[in-house]
Amino acid sequence: MNTAATTTTDEHADSHDHGHHDSRLAHHFDSHQQQFDTGKLGIWLFLVTEILFFSGLFGFYAVYRSLHPEVFLYASQFLDTVLGAANTVVLLFSSLTMAWGVRCAQLGQTRGLLVCLVITLACAAIFLGVKSFEYTEKAHHGLLWAGMYQSPEHHAEAAVPAAAGAEATAGHDAGDHAHASADDHSDESLFEKTKHTLSYMTTVLWAVIVLAGIAFAVFIKKPGKLTQATIAGCFLISAVGMVLGTYASIGYHHFGHAEKPTDQEILMAETVPAEYAAQKEKVPEPELAGTFFSVYFCMTGLHAIHIIGGMIAISWLIVRTAHGAFTTYYFGAVDFVGLYWHLVDLIWIYLFPLLYLIN
Amino acid sequence: MSDHAESGSHAENTQSCHVHIVPVKVLIGVFLALVVLTVVTVEAAKFDTGELDVIVSMAIATVKASLVVFIFMHLWYDKPLNKIAFFFSIIFAGFFLCMILLDSHAYDAYVKGFQQDKTPTVAPAAAAPAPATAPAEAAAAPAEK
Amino acid sequence: MATVVDSSNPKSNFPIQYRELNYLNCSQGWKSWFFTLDHKRIGIMYLIGVTSAFFMGGLFAMLLRTELLSPSRILMGADSYNQMFTLHGAIMTFLVIIPGVPAAVGNIILPVMLGAKDVAFPRMNLGSFYLWMFGAVFFLAAIVLGGLDTGWTFYTPYSITTSTAVITALFGVFILGFSSIFTGLNFIVTIHTMRPPGMTWFKMPLFLWALYATALIQILATPVLGITGLLLIVERAFHIGIFDPALGGDPVLFQHFFWFYSHPAVYVMILPAMGVVSEVIAVHSRKHIFGYRFIAYSSIAIAVFGFLVWGHHMFVSGQSKVVAVVFSAITFSVSIPSAIKVFNWLATMYKGSIHFTTAMCYGLSFIFIFTIGGLTGLFLATLATDVHLHDTYFVVAHFHYVMMGSSLVGLFAAVHHWWPKISGRMFNEFWGRIACLGVFMGFNLTFFPQFLLGTRGMPRRYYTYLPEFQNLHILSTMGAYLLGISSTLMVGTLIYSVYRGKKAPANPWGGASLEWMCSSPPPHNNFDHPPLAGDPYVMESVVYNEEIEGYVPAECQGAGTKSVTASGDKEV
């Protein structure tokens, strides 16, 4: 903890006058080792702030779970464990490729680094795709945060008579969510909605990437063709990944519960989650069930924002890698983004059991 | 030192940063372990062990997290200062959680009292038909039938 | 880098080469300022920003005090009054005191004191300044978009139901929080990795220890404020039911979240000022600081204790009794490191050769005011007394004694102490001291009556009051006017010196820490070679040189040059 980091000064004291030739070394550092150590300490401290940032949400979770355990027991049944677990594995895999990418960077293997980064970016996009399906499904069933939450019991009851021919459901704006107009298109409306959400999320991602690109262009005077091509490539990978993730989860949703459902079951599946519809004995809905979804959306939402931030950082790395910016003695940026990415993974490792696996 | 940058043979001595490089086998091994643990935690959640549930799933999550932190994030081989920073933040966040947990039970009764007094009068989001509280919903449901 | 060494000049036996180029004139044009990565220029921009915000917050304070001259309406109605005190509090806290010493003065001085060329992450440093600007813009936007009337604490459930621009202001707080985090992160990393050879942890100037402790708080506590603000924004926008009791939320949880940051933030405000005073007292008493290690450790101790006491803001909020007792006890223990500092400063001055320069005058004011502010804190930490004093003017007076009287006076001391280094000019000592006297008198006149008001039961934040309180209110308002005039005089004196001031020598006060080793103002890169750092408080290592009207290192003093020793009676 002492002066270890500054001892390099003496070794390089003689090279000060010509030290500025190296564009990879900032003028206020004496050596690459010092620059790397400085950055590393910086990123670890940044991770410390991230942990404390999330600690507020974990505190929120802990307080409400300890005060209202029944809410968490009841509401977590609406989360799809399989999708959550799949997402966990996707994120873990992206962590693997990121760590592998760091290794490639340390060894100076540019091609390997590029491949690893691209896979990581794609995994992140797949994660977001699955997430966008999950969000749409929740919104579709009225399972939103406390202020917008609609109890599944009444959500279903409001919708079933409507399909049976009853004129209107007494001005209940649940109709927005549950326009159960066509029997056999039941899952299609969910599909349509998911596509909408997907396009929203893609637009957001696109906008953010464009903004980041503009900021990037400010630093680079002439963005060459290579830069533009790699930025476009990153966007393409992100978009394809997200679509892939979404369609995979829609597919799972379709075939996961395809055992010749009755009309009543379809209606129920349309308006309430299948898990709920399948229950023989319904657990009575506790008060404040919406609080769980507040927690769910806050935690996963903030996590998703971090994923998007990570995707931008990884795209930036891809662009720089394509330009051959990283060498065996200058790979700090890869390492630092990697650390950030692992932290995002780390938070998900805790979120998954806390939200999806409550029994 | 930039003189050495061009001559590759000397680059190792002056330009390289001394860092630990994790072998590929270890990386893949860690990943497989993480996947296995994910499966284990999903399966474990299916058994109803009551109070133990949270502890088991958190313990597994912590094992997974340690694997990521120590191997993927190289913390095992990192400087002591970075280790201290990381663990201090965890302890610190834990302390924060403990304090608010300890306290929130003390005044929960007051909050509940407020809630029962005022539920219908405070109108939340315009889009919400009613605050998601059972009495309001229960009153609305029979009317529709 | 034109280096001018003139052998016929007495400066030639001055070891640091005398340069004509410095950081202020090495490049020109607005771009060279707005896109600069130089920590000193960023610090100057911070200083200008903080000063503007200070006058804006001060203006609100003057209006408030004018309104309180009488229990009836003078200038504004009750609603405008609510908005006025909220904006005064929010601007002064988030825009002035928190960035004041660390971001403005710290940015300029820290790397020079370390003998480094810049902070560890110069881009992040500039980014943090622009975040500060954005945050300030959001605050201004909040004024335009319906004001803000929650008090700077944004307590729920009122902040959820009020119709004012809470969301805008919270965004401002969120952004300012990140600005503060980045500054803190930069400082910690810089202090860890960029110290020059020879500067071990216990040879660091105490200002750096204080900034280090501050930065620890900034990176550990500020994220929690960020998430709290974000959650409150989401609560207002979407009604997630976390803080809103109508949806099953927990309003007291907000107070926990808020004070978990905001109490440590109080130490973000006071710790750097304490560091400044440690420097100022030692240098202007021409004596080695007394109890160096104790002061250094007490900074860290204050930072650590600062995290464990947030509950003392919530003694009457329905907090559990056990927690309240624990928080009360820990709050008392904060007074130990604070008292250690005060006694060490006093011991430093004992038998020193005290030069009553403006900076020293502010330093002495700090000790006086901080002692009162600290001791009255103990009344509020006592559970039973707090029930009586909670939410009265006693609290207002207490935290103004600590936040305004100590933190801001510390900032004033810092600015005067390092002004020759920052601007390269000497300010007029006479007017500086007059302004200091005015600030000291005005401050005490404003806030001492408020202690009396508080103990007699005058609640804080009230628009009107009982007639028997009027005399004290008038006294307080008069003090506020004096304070306003004096601070304007202070800023005027400093600005005047930029244009008409005498050129400052490298070391006008005789400090032994590294920032006095480079020219005033420093060149763009501060030091070409990392200087060798010794003990920063051996005042005998520099002696006064009449020809350059400043101090030079003892070994460089020419044999024939008339000089006085460091502890001699020569007034600067």
- Contact assessment for residue A246 and residue A205, using Cβ atoms and an 8 Å cutoff: no
pTM passes above 0.90: no
DSSP secondary structure code for residue A55 in this structure: H
* Alpha-carbon distance B3 to nearest alpha carbon in chain C (angstroms): 20
Q: Inform me whether the pLDDT recorded for A353 exceeds 70.
A: yes
Residue of higher predicted confidence among C519 and C191: C191
Residue of higher predicted confidence among A24 and A210: A24
Q: Is the dihedral of CA C375, C377, C381, C385 positive or negative?
A: positive
Contacts C121 to A, Cβ<8 Å: 38, 42
Q: What is the pLDDT of residue B16?
A: 60
C-alpha span between A157 and B145 (Å, rounded): 8
Interface of A with B in 25-64 (CB under 8 A): 25, 31-33, 36-37, 40-41, 44-45, 47-48, 51-52, 54-55, 58-59, 62-63
- Contact assessment for residue C226 and residue C127, using Cβ atoms and an 8 Å cutoff: no
CA atoms within a 13 Å half-sphere pointing along the CA-CB vector of C123 = 5
HEC readout, B96-119: HHHHHHHHHHHHHHHHHHHHHHHC
Query: Minimum mean pLDDT among A156-165, B120-129, C437-446: which range?
Result: B120-129
Please provide the distance, in angstroms rounded to a whole number, between the alpha carbons at the two ends of chain C. 31
Interface of B with A in 18-37 (CB under 8 A): 18-19, 21-22, 24, 27-28, 30-31, 34-35
Closest residue to C185, CB basis, from A42, A54, A57: A42
| Residue B144 touches chain A, beta carbons under 8 Å | yes
- Contact assessment for residue C436 and residue C487, using Cβ atoms and an 8 Å cutoff: no
Neighbours of A50 (CB within 10 A): 18
- Give B81's contacts (C-beta < 8 A, 6+ positions apart): A1, A41, C192
Q: What is the pLDDT of residue A263?
A: 53
Q: What is the pLDDT of residue A185?
A: 41
Highest mean pLDDT among A210-214, A219-223, B5-9, C331-335: C331-335
- Contact assessment for residue A231 and residue A213, using Cβ atoms and an 8 Å cutoff: yes
Q: Inform me whether the pLDDT recorded for A262 exceeds 80.
A: no
Closest residue to A106, CB basis, from B21, B45, B129: B21
Burial C219-254, CB ≥16 within 10 A → b, else e: bbbbbbbbbbbbbbbbbbebbbbbbbbbbbbbbbbb
Contacts A42 to C, Cβ<8 Å: 120-121, 124, 185-186, 189
Q: What is the pLDDT of residue C533?
A: 82
Q: What is the pLDDT of residue C430?
A: 95
- Give C117's contacts (C-beta < 8 A, 6+ positions apart): A27, A28, C111, C525, C526, C527
Mean pLDDT of the C515-531 span:
85
Q: What is the pLDDT of residue A155?
A: 58
Tens-place pLDDT, residues C116-147: 889 999 999 999 999 999 999 998 898 888 88
Q: Rounded mean pLDDT of chain A? A: 75
Q: Inform me whether the pLDDT recorded for A151 exceeds 90.
A: no
Query: Minimum mean pLDDT among C307-311, C315-319, C491-495: which range?
Result: C315-319
Tens-place pLDDT, residues A174-203: 333 333 333 334 445 666 666 676 667 667
Closest CA to C95 of C63, C51, C142: C51
Closest residue to A28, CB basis, from C118, C222, C253: C118
Residue of higher predicted confidence among A18 and C460: C460
Banded model confidence at residue A23, pLDDT cuts 50, 70, 90: confident
Closest CA to B22 of A310, A34, A41, A95: A95
- Contact assessment for residue A338 and residue A53, using Cβ atoms and an 8 Å cutoff: no
Q: What is the pLDDT of residue C144?
A: 86
Q: Rounded mean pLDDT of chain B? A: 71
| Residue C571 touches chain A, beta carbons under 8 Å | no
pLDDT over 70, % of chain C: 94
- Contact assessment for residue A71 and residue A289, using Cβ atoms and an 8 Å cutoff: yes
Q: What is the pLDDT of residue B115?
A: 59
Name the helix (H) or strand (E) containing C41: helix C39-67
Q: Reduced to 3 states, what is the DSSP secondary structure of residue C543?
A: strand
Mean pLDDT of the A259-285 span:
55
C-alpha span between C175 and C122 (Å, rounded): 19
CB contact under 8 A, C239 and B108: no
C-alpha span between C416 and A82 (Å, rounded): 65
Q: What is the pLDDT of residue A271?
A: 54
Tens-place pLDDT, residues C18-74: 446 788 888 888 888 888 899 999 999 999 999 999 999 999 999 999 999 999 999
Interface of C with A in 489-528 (CB under 8 A): 525, 528
Query: Could you please report the per-residue DSSP string of A303-358?
Result: HHHHHHHHHHHHHHHHHHHHTT--BTTB-HHHHHHHHHHHHHHHHHHHHHHHHH--
- Give A121's contacts (C-beta < 8 A, 6+ positions apart): A234, A237, A238, A241, A311, A314, A315, A318
Q: What is the pLDDT of residue A170?
A: 36
Mean pLDDT of the A218-243 span:
78
Mean pLDDT of the C293-304 span:
93
Tens-place pLDDT, residues A71-112: 888 888 888 888 899 999 999 999 999 999 999 999 989 999
| Residue A66 touches chain C, beta carbons under 8 Å | no
Neighbours of A7 (CB within 10 A): 13
Interface of C with A in 176-215 (CB under 8 A): 181, 185-186, 188-189, 192-197, 200-201
* Alpha-carbon distance A214 to nearest alpha carbon in chain B (angstroms): 31
Residue C223 backbone dihedrals phi, psi, to 5 degrees: -55, -35
Residue A284 backbone dihedrals phi, psi, to 5 degrees: -60, 140
Q: What is the pLDDT of residue A161?
A: 43
C-alpha span between A313 and A340 (Å, rounded): 9
Residue C222 backbone dihedrals phi, psi, to 5 degrees: -60, -35
Q: What is the pLDDT of residue A69?
A: 85
Mean pLDDT of the B80-88 span:
90
Tens-place pLDDT, residues C177-234: 999 999 999 999 999 998 888 888 999 999 999 999 999 999 998 999 999 999 999 9
Residue C485 has which token pair? 């005039």
Q: Inform me whether the pLDDT recorded for C259 exceeds 70.
A: yes
Q: What is the pLDDT of residue C558?
A: 56
Q: What is the pLDDT of residue C557?
A: 64
Q: Inform me whether the pLDDT recorded for A7 exceeds 90.
A: no
Q: Which amino acid is at C348?
A: T
| Residue B118 touches chain C, beta carbons under 8 Å | yes
| Residue A48 touches chain C, beta carbons under 8 Å | yes
Query: Minimum mean pLDDT among A9-13, A296-300, C316-320: which range?
Result: A9-13
Tens-place pLDDT, residues C361-392: 999 999 999 999 999 999 999 999 999 999 99
Q: What is the pLDDT of residue C553?
A: 85
* Alpha-carbon distance C325 to nearest alpha carbon in chain B (angstroms): 12
Closest CA to C86 of C43, C146, C39: C146
Contacts B124 to C, Cβ<8 Å: 239, 241, 244, 246-247
Tens-place pLDDT, residues A301-317: 999 999 989 998 999 89
Integer CA distances (angstroms), C320 to A183, C344, C386, in order: 55, 37, 15
Chains in touch with B (3+ beta-carbon pairs under 8 Å) read A, C
Banded model confidence at residue B120, pLDDT cuts 50, 70, 90: very low
- Contact assessment for residue C108 and residue C423, using Cβ atoms and an 8 Å cutoff: no
Query: Which chain C residue's Cα is nearest to B130?
Result: C247
Mutate to test the interface with C, among B107, B110, B116, B121 (most CBs of C within 10 A): B107
- Contact assessment for residue C144 and residue A56, using Cβ atoms and an 8 Å cutoff: no
Banded model confidence at residue A172, pLDDT cuts 50, 70, 90: very low
Banded model confidence at residue B31, pLDDT cuts 50, 70, 90: very high
CB contact under 8 A, A53 and C226: yes
* Alpha-carbon distance B125 to nearest alpha carbon in chain A (angstroms): 6
Banded model confidence at residue C572, pLDDT cuts 50, 70, 90: very low
Contacts A33 to B, Cβ<8 Å: 17-18
Q: What is the pLDDT of residue C556?
A: 72
Q: What is the pLDDT of residue A209?
A: 67
Q: Inform me whether the pLDDT recorded for C547 exceeds 90.
A: no
Chains in touch with C (3+ beta-carbon pairs under 8 Å) read A, B
Q: Reduced to 3 states, what is the DSSP secondary structure of residue C517?
A: coil
| Residue A232 touches chain B, beta carbons under 8 Å | no
Question: Checking DSSP bridges between strand C550-553 and strand C542-545, what pairing results, if any?
Answer: antiparallel
Number of H helices, E strands in chain B: 6, 0
C-alpha span between C116 and A195 (Å, rounded): 54
Q: Rounded mean pLDDT of chain C? A: 88
Tens-place pLDDT, residues C264-284: 988 999 999 999 999 999 999
Q: What is the pLDDT of residue C156?
A: 84
Q: Inform me whether the pLDDT recorded for C511 exceeds 50.
A: yes
Q: What is the pLDDT of residue A162?
A: 43
